[in-house]
Structure 1
């Protein structure tokens, strides 16, 4: 509930007249007709408390039933938002990026992640730079060389953090592993003390990103800004040190990792990107890995522990790969490509519990959708929760069934854990590798079961196991 304290604080401290002005001004007579049905909830806090109490899946499903299965209106993070639903909503957003809709980030995200860009005019520069880095550095041909590194790190992580124990609290261990993996691949940080220092500020930074942007010391946003400042300060030192080495050695044939490629990046004018902006992008990539990738792995492990027959099939597939290797040999890109059933298990896990709720867009013009009008400038939110459990496309939608993804798989625009279209998540290949490599190491070393049988996955802007995913371990 910490992230919602700023809403309650403002609700009771701001003058009542301000509420009235803000609340009724937006409903003035010149507002577009035929807006999508819905409610703005409470002044200032909108429907954020409802979302916190219900979770995204129920929040979206309830409003689709109450207002419209195609689109509804709400208020989240201080913004009036239209939520486009179902495959048609997904298709409209994915195929019209740059035409009808454009990228948009909540102010809290922009201020914490992109402070070196002009937030008063346009933040598109920051988003474009961030995504361009990702597309270039996270494409398959760039990532395949890192599979053996991922394998070695996963094996070491399980031997050090899991093997000595009969039971573990898996969530913090998985989060720590995915964070350390990102740090190793992005900036080659391996020092445990430095890793722990950065990781300690990540949790408050993540909480601040999806909060009301009230910069006071006791608010989630205030703590997030403080955490982000520390994290970026450490990353900036690493970038500056590497830059000095590269300048001293003339770029040359020194260490060739992702950070070295960052430092060679040029903007549209042919100038080197500043150290501050590189640090911002690296922290953004760390954040995505710490949040989305870790959430996805937690979800996969959660379901593997719940369904022994699924675990048995995954183990069979993974042991065949393990037996094809000589002792001490790491798995490769080609080995990951053989993990067909395991990947179907991952996809079914992401269908039932997506690692993130969705993303925000902004209407570039008035948009007609499902008989309603979304006015220019209004925020749009697309969410996988509107299609992933639709029984029309996924029979018995609450049932865990990896066979859904055999053959041609789900209908277009129904299964969208990584988005779609030209703006599909550039980190999807990295996420696939990180999940499957750890999955391979985990199931070939342990059988496991949940210590809290009725534990749930909490669905908010990201997903987490309600009690930290305690597991009993049984080594093979």
Structure 2
């Protein structure tokens, strides 16, 4: 992975560092231990390198050990940053959202996403989240199960059946993107879906990077891709608005209609540019994490035959209870308890997102240290999930960790937590369980390269795309 184009990156970071130095003239006592690293670039290269090596937790674990502290300071992506580790750090950040801290993303994310839920805070963020959550309600999710089942069956017939070998990552990415386009925007045109998918592939590569908008950089290419996505979405929103006015579309048929037709608690409608930005954000979030999780589940199940045996036994029992050709129901998913425990352990072993960032709204103290207003903070799902205090034998796959009441609060955070918890948690659960039910009942598979490396870029992906050998399972 080319982390950055060096010359423009250094210029950008130099300007940023000088600006911050001029703004910060008052020393803050009792800062956390740590180092800001090299002048200008800080410890950014080490931070990004650990992700590229597939061990994002290493950057943090090494410094926790060095400073003998669950909180330390560093400089990452051009920002003075404090990293809070473990369940206690997660609890502090999640429970102080909007009070002492607010969601923050690197400049690259904010510039690419534009004005939408991920870039808002306070009352505006709560209002947007409430509107979006009203679409992801239990009734809507129950209705979506059979649609997801139909789309999944069609995908497996078209792209898996009759194949001796395929690349799991790219094939799954196509499926999850198709599904997001259909459920969120009712798009079924394969050419439009293909164009959007190509743009999103480029867009993703520049999301977490230095925002240097010059030709040749990943950010420049990502920004061009985001502009192309917005152009396509703008046409769709205008067309859907017209269809709603003519009663040719329903306000509840998908997320796009929902955002166009419904206002906030005061009746104010969301501006078109924000509808487009939110659709971009949700399309991005709604398929990439699912792709990464599915491909990792396929990898782990192939490596753990004793787990796979129990997994398929549960899914076969559910399949046996269905009439021939009958689709899954919401009630069927509630019976997949062991399967969800396995999925949860996969997400613990390889978190679908490495974590996220906050910004200090005020000076505050944590563990006796001063965190200055304006400084950035980071919590890590990868580090949390590898904490031996929460998970003994942390590197051993053990799905029984999720039986009963499961892990302690704030120790299992693949979807974040607090007011900023991922909107699509239950949607992801439905999508994953439905796909895996159909996959394990239809196919045997094995890994072409059992030692294939997994990297974070920015989500976990197999470097070779996880090629697998396939064989249809007897009915």
Question: CA offsets per residue over residues 341-368 of structure 1, 9 Å max, x none?
Answer: 0000010000010000111111122221
Q: Does 1:65 align with 2:61?
A: no
d(CA) in 1 for partners of 2:295 and 2:129? 25
Question: How much has 1:417 moved relative to structure 2?
Answer: 1.0
Question: CA offsets per residue over residues 285-311 of structure 1, 9 Å max, x none?
Answer: 000023222211122112112111111
* Aligned counterpart in structure 2 of residue 392 of structure 1, from 389, 394, 405: 389
Kept in 1, the 8 Å contact 2:57–2:380? The answer is no
Question: How much has 1:259 moved relative to structure 2?
Answer: 2.3
Q: Does 1:262 align with 2:224?
A: no
Kept in 2, the 8 Å contact 1:72–1:83? The answer is yes
Kept in 1, the 8 Å contact 2:131–2:263? The answer is no
Q: Which runs of 5+ in 1 are unaligned?
A: none
Measured at CA, do residues 427 and 68 of structure 1 come closer, stay the same or move farther in structure 2, by a change above 3 Å?
farther
Measured at CA, do residues 137 and 45 of structure 1 come closer, stay the same or move farther in structure 2, by a change above 3 Å?
farther
- The within-5 A match list for 1:254-333 is 256-267=253-264, 269-333=266-330
Measured at CA, do residues 26 and 37 of structure 1 come closer, stay the same or move farther in structure 2, by a change above 3 Å?
farther
TM-score w.r.t. length of structure 2? 0.92
Say which is worse superposed, 60-69 or 356-365, in terms of deviation: 60-69
* Aligned counterpart in structure 1 of residue 235 of structure 2, from 234, 237, 241: 237
d(CA) in 1 for partners of 2:127 and 2:108? 19
Measured at CA, do residues 127 and 218 of structure 1 come closer, stay the same or move farther in structure 2, by a change above 3 Å?
farther
Kept in 1, the 8 Å contact 2:416–2:422? The answer is yes
Q: Which runs of 5+ in 2 are unaligned?
A: none
Residue number in structure 2 paired with 1:38 = 34
- The within-5 A match list for 1:419-458 is 419-458=416-455
Count of equivalent residues: 469
Kept in 2, the 8 Å contact 1:174–1:298? The answer is yes
d(CA) in 1 for partners of 2:13 and 2:46? 23
Say which is worse superposed, 280-289 or 267-276, in terms of deviation: 267-276
Question: How much has 1:197 moved relative to structure 2?
Answer: 0.6
Question: CA offsets per residue over residues 241-288 of structure 1, 9 Å max, x none?
Answer: 11101112287x687333221211214653322222111111110000
* Structural RMSD (CA): 2.4
d(CA) in 1 for partners of 2:77 and 2:359? 14
Question: How much has 1:109 moved relative to structure 2?
Answer: 1.3
Question: How much has 1:60 moved relative to structure 2?
Answer: 1.7
- The within-5 A match list for 1:129-148 is 130-148=128-146
Question: How much has 1:20 moved relative to structure 2?
Answer: 8.2
Q: Does 1:180 align with 2:178?
A: yes
Residue number in structure 1 paired with 2:347 = 350
Q: Does 1:371 align with 2:371?
A: no
Question: How much has 1:195 moved relative to structure 2?
Answer: 0.4
Residue number in structure 1 paired with 2:219 = 221
Measured at CA, do residues 234 and 449 of structure 1 come closer, stay the same or move farther in structure 2, by a change above 3 Å?
same
d(CA) in 2 for partners of 1:125 and 1:462? 30
Question: How much has 1:31 moved relative to structure 2?
Answer: 2.1
d(CA) in 1 for partners of 2:451 and 2:236? 44
d(CA) in 1 for partners of 2:457 and 2:85? 17
Measured at CA, do residues 23 and 91 of structure 1 come closer, stay the same or move farther in structure 2, by a change above 3 Å?
closer
